[in-house]
Amino acid sequence: MKILKKESDDILVIASPRERVHIGDYLVASESQRSLVLQVYDERYLDVEGIEEEIAREEVLSASAPGFTSDPTELATISTLIRDTRILLCKARGTISGGRLTPRANWMPSRTNSTVTRLLVEDLAVSVAPLGVRNIRVGTVDNESSFGIPAEALDGRITVITGRKESGKSHLAKILLRGLLENDAYSVIFDLNDEYGTIGRRVDGTETGEAKKVKVLRPGRDMKFSLAAVGLRPITNLLSHSLEMPGTSLREFVKIWEQLDNRDELTLATLESGIQQWRCNEFVRDALFARYHTLASCGLFTDSTHQQFDLQDFFTLNRSGGALVVSLSGVSPLNRRMVVELILSKLVELLERRKIPPVFLFAEEAHLYLRDTYWEDLITRMRHFGVFTVFVTNQPDAIDQKIYRQVDNIFLYNFSNDSDLALISQASMADSDTVKAIVRTLPPRMCLLLGYAVRNLPVVVNVDPFDSPATGLTRRFFEDSIELSASAGRPAHPS
Ligand SMILES: Nc1ncnc2c1ncn2[C@@H]1O[C@H](COP(=O)(O)OP(=O)(O)OP(=O)(O)O)[C@@H](O)[C@H]1O
Ligand SMILES: [Mg+2]
């Protein structure tokens, strides 16, 4: 391979057909003292003068007179090689000198003296200082070498996993989650499709070492809250944001609450009689009652002490980390929002008081239950306190551009839709040419990893299979005919 030319910030490398280089691979243009690290983001044929005419002529000839033509000087071979010669479009990613990589890429290697060779990701990794020691294996790179990210790269960071439907996003989220569990971290998962409960089990049904750390709870069934344990702040948040309670009524509510709390009598029953007896305007009383009845009938609250869920207990009972899977499937949209609100505000409160260690939050399709104002809160204030979110979505436009700018790691699966591509290429931390060209060509189960975890050196990863029972599959009407045909080894409808 040789450097051909530089066009704006692209470096064009000419490669013979025998060279096994793919989009996403790294190359290195070496001179005596230093070398420029390049990444291939696209490729095209070498366009030599008259080559199209030659190909057309040959095609016409072979169609009209099929058979052998003698070619004693093997000119055809050379001509074929030229026709298949590729131009690799590369971006410079940095300079290696003295064995260390720096992001400087403002020089041009000599076209005559430099040699261009493949640079494997594992060799590239040697030239940067590691981010941590707790490796989470994600898949393979460069065909066969193992690739993982340090758990530390998710710690204190915001991560986004996005790609089109059924590209493998939840699959990857589960790999990361199991990796975090193996490193004794705590996670809370907002699970929309009942996918994460099996994370502690293998395909054959046996349990992994982490199975005991996974707890699945269904809001309204085995996850009910007591008013006293939730506390005033989360409840007022919920009343004003999820139940849109006006300010005047909220002030009266706080007074009633404080009175009951001072007497240590805070229950659903006493709250009802408290509102009944409170001296206030009838409109305010109506507003209070309306919200009270929503709280009382939503099934999320209880006065019975043995049914109550205490978030802090989850942490104290699982000393070596755990995954709290909040199953939101089958929960009404209003209850979803209330539960998420309650859990997030309780988490922040416990973190503020340093009662619990930092937590990783996995949020699938968060726009379905996360109130608008919470997004910024999650990535700024909550992250500061110790809630590190992994957003998983197949709708990149559901996440605001402001949020993307704060994101540290992005795992990108295939998108072919132009508007999604434009959005995601603008939002991500790599240049938009790279993102657009690579993401468009990504086959299923491969993703482009950008950002902090890979030190801003984009890497295309072939994600591993995950040893866990299949969950979250879309129900199908014709399921049994697929099963029958699979077991009989023949098509369901022979024709
Ligand atoms: N790297 C992989 N190796 C093997 N199977 C995979 C891999 N990635 C995904 N799959 C399988 O592909 C299917 C779809 O994956 P997954 O449910 O993770 O997609 P998704 O992007 O979350 O889809 P949705 O948009 O519907 O949520 C699953 O059955 C999953 O097991
Ligand atoms: Mg999914």
Give per-residue pLDDT as tens, 305-319. 888 888 999 999 999
- Residue 468 Cβ inside 6 Å of ligand 1? The answer reads no
Strand residues in 74-233 grouped as ranges (E): 86-97, 100-102, 115-119, 135-141, 145-150, 159-162, 186-191, 214-217
pLDDT band at 371 (very low <50, low <70, confident <90, very high): confident
Nearest Cα neighbor of 138 from 94, 176, 189 is: 176
- Residue 164 Cβ inside 6 Å of ligand 1? The answer reads no
**Taking residues 282-293, what's their average pLDDT?**
88
- Residue 465 Cβ inside 6 Å of ligand 1? The answer reads yes
**The sheet that has 159-162: what strands, in order across it?**
145-150, 135-141, 459-463, 446-451, 409-412, 159-162, 387-393, 359-364, 186-191, 322-327, 214-217
Q: What is the pLDDT of residue 139?
A: 96
pLDDT band at 494 (very low <50, low <70, confident <90, very high): very low
Residue of 161, 171, 199 best suited for mutating to test ligand 1, as the one with most atoms within 8 Å of CB: 171
pTM, whole model, 2 decimals? Answer: 0.89
Q: Map out the domains of the chain as residue ranges.
A: 2-46+85-126, 135-218+323-479, 227-297
Give the DSSP letter string of 379-440.
IIIIHHHTEEEEEEES-GGGS-HHHHHH-SEEEE-----HHHHHHHHHHSSS-HHHHHHHHH
Burial class (CB in 10 A: 0-12, 13-18, 19+), 401: exposed
Residue nearest ligand 1's atom 14 by CA: 166
- Residue 445 Cβ inside 6 Å of ligand 1? The answer reads yes
Q: Are 37 and 94 in contact (CB under 8 A)?
A: yes
Residue 378 scores a pLDDT above 80: no
- Residue 472 Cβ inside 6 Å of ligand 1? The answer reads yes
Helix (H, G, I), strand (E, B) or coil at 247: helix
Which ligand 1 atom minimizes the distance to the CA of 139? 1
Range with lowest mean pLDDT among 34-38, 44-48, 453-457, 472-476: 472-476
Distance 473 CA to ligand 1 centre (A): 9
Side-chain-side CA neighbours of 76 within 13 Å: the count stands at: 7
**Taking residues 395-412, what's their average pLDDT?**
88
**Taking residues 200-224, what's their average pLDDT?**
91
Q: Which CATH architecture has domain 135-218+323-479?
A: 3-Layer(aba) Sandwich (3.40)
Residue nearest ligand 1's atom 20 by CA: 166
Distance 273 CA to ligand 2 centre (A): 45
Quote the percentage of the chain above a pLDDT of 90: 48
Q: Are 135 and 150 in contact (CB under 8 A)?
A: yes
Residue nearest ligand 1's atom 10 by CA: 168
pLDDT in tens, 149-195: 999 999 999 999 999 998 999 999 999 999 999 999 999 999 999 99
Nearest Cα neighbor of 368 from 191, 180, 217 is: 191
Q: What is the pLDDT of residue 71?
A: 63
In the numeric block, which tokens belong to residue 116?
A: 């261009």
